Amino acid sequence: MSLKSLYVTHDGPVVQVRFNTPENGNAITDRVLDDLLAVLGAVHDRPDIRVVVLSGGGPNFCAGGDRREYAEQLATDPTGTGLRTSGGKARRVCDALATTSAVTIARMHGQVIGAGLALALFCDLRVGADDCRFRLPELALGLPAAWGGSLPRLLQEAGAARIRELILTGAGFDAAQAERLSVLHRVVPEAELDRVVDEWTRPVVRRSAAALRVTKTLLNSYAAGNRLADTSLLDAELMASVIAAGRSADD
C-alpha cells in the first residue's frame, strides 16, 4: 500500500495510523482521505486486527481541512463538484472509523481543529494531552458545520447547548473543557499518551473478535436510534453549495 500522507505500522492485532504531513499541520486533504479509506478498507477485511490508533506527527494532531485545496477545487470547477466529491470521501472515512470492527482510538496533542476534531469524534475512545487546544472554526470561515456527518455525532457525544455555543462563537476550548464535554475520555501529560493507549489496548486485544464486532454494531445502532432527524447525508452538498455561493459573491 503506497501512502503519501500517513505513516502506518502494524504490530499483531494493533494498527497505528499517524498523520504524516506536519509541514501543513496534518491538514486534511483529498490525499489524506484517500489514504485513510485505503487503510480502513484493509482493516475491515482483517478481523484479527482489534485496535486502530489514530495520531498526528509533529507538534499538532490536525489543523483541520486544507482551505488552499478547497480554493483550488473551486478554481477548477466553480460549481463545487470537487468539493462534493471530497465531502463524500469525508463521510465514508468517518463512517469507516465508526463502523469498523476494530476499536478505534484517537491519540491527540497540540491543535485539534475542524475536520481533525471530526475524525477524532468518530473514534471509539479519545485521549488528549493536557496541551490540546480544540476549535470549530467553520462558521468564522464562512462554512457550514457540515463535514463528514460530524455534527450529529458531536451533538450526541457532547450535548446540544454547549456545542451550539462553540459553533456559533468559534471559541476555542482546552483539554479540561473537552473532557467535561466528553470530547475526550482522558486527559494526561503528553508523555503519558502511549501509556493510556496501551492501557485501553491490552484488554481489547483479548476480546473475542465476534463479540467485539457485534458489540460495536449494537453501540452504533443504539446511537443512531437516538438521532431522530439526522440530515448529515446532505453534508457534502451543503458544504459545496455554501463555499461555491461565497466564492460567487466575492467575484
Domains identified in the chain and CATH numbers:
6-191+208-250 (3.90.226.10)
When the pLDDT of each residue in the chain is averaged and rounded to a whole number, the result is 87
Average pLDDT, stretch 164-170? 92
Alpha helical stretches, state H, the chain: 30-44, 67-76, 81-99, 115-121, 150-158, 160-169, 175-180, 193-204, 209-225, 235-250
pLDDT at position 232: 53
What residues pair up with 17 in beta bridges, in sequence order? 8, 54
Write phi, then psi, for 28 (nearest 5 degrees). Answer: -85, 115
Please write the tens of the pLDDT for every residue from 46-80. Answer: 889 999 999 999 999 999 988 787 677 667 777 77
> What distance lies between CA 33 and its chain's CA centroid?
10
Highest mean pLDDT: which range of 19-23, 83-87, 210-214: 19-23
What is the CB-side half-sphere exposure of residue 38 using CA atoms within 13 A? 15
pTM of the model: 0.86
Flag whether pLDDT at 251 surpasses 70: no
pLDDT interval class at 228 (50, 70, 90) = very low
Write phi, then psi, for 101 (nearest 5 degrees). Answer: -70, -20
